[in-house]
Amino acid sequence: MAGNMVADHLANLRRTEKDGAILKNVYSVPEKIREIINDHKQQMLQRIKATTTNLAVTSRYSMGILPWLTHSVRPIQSALIRLRSGHNKLNGTISKWDMDTKPNFPHRCTETENASHVLLPCPTYSAAREELKQTLEKLKHPMNVPTLTGINCSIPKHSQQKMAQKLIVFLIKSKLLERI
Ligand SMILES: [Zn+2]
């Protein structure tokens, strides 16, 4: 665009001046545009995050495409998505609309049965969870729902895949796959 060319030309003129103080604070037009776009993206992200409790959204710290671990076996894929979103078939969720379902865990636990409870502290699944726990400890990643379900963006892809494998083993061993 002609405007950009003029602005760049003016910016370059200032760069050629011998006064070093001016040089420091001169941003080119593309730099300014990038800054405006980044600000706008951050504002958009904050606005979107404020409207939801979905971990796949609230765990994000930047906009854009995030590689999403998928699985070719449909029940496993469904379970992964349900764990990430919090919209699952566990009693804590169902009890929100079904008065006959109690929110607590069906076996021996008195805690609300949700994704966070069954993945992390529930003693019913501690044996099934052991391998998953050890894998996270070895990789030095925090044991929390975003990390386990592959939506902690700060974790590299190869680690995500290792954890996903162990998570799937846990879901099968614990028979949670059939309930989530
Ligand atoms: Zn429990």
**pLDDT mean over 131-155:** 91
Distance between Cα 154 and ligand 1 center (Å): 29
Q: Which helix (H) or strand (E) holds 163?
A: helix 157-173
Of 15-19, 120-124, 125-129, where does mean pLDDT reach its minimum? 15-19
Distance between Cα 126 and ligand 1 center (Å): 10
Are the CB atoms for 86 and 100 separated by under 8 Å?
no
Length of the chain equals: 180
Distance between Cα 160 and ligand 1 center (Å): 25
**pLDDT mean over 18-38:** 78
Distance between Cα 107 and ligand 1 center (Å): 8
Q: Which residues contact 144 (CB under 8 A, 6 or more apart)?
A: 120, 152
Q: Which residues contact 127 (CB under 8 A, 6 or more apart)?
A: none
Distance between Cα 125 and ligand 1 center (Å): 8
Report the C-alpha gap between 47 and 169 in whole angstroms. Answer: 36
- Higher local confidence (pLDDT), 85 or 121: 121
- Per-domain residue ranges of the chain: 2-51, 67-178
Distance between Cα 45 and ligand 1 center (Å): 34
pTM confidence score: 0.69
Report the C-alpha gap between 56 and 152 in whole angstroms. Answer: 9
Given a cut of 60, whether residue 42 has pLDDT beyond it is yes
Token pair in block for residue 150: 């592959």
Distance between Cα 124 and ligand 1 center (Å): 6
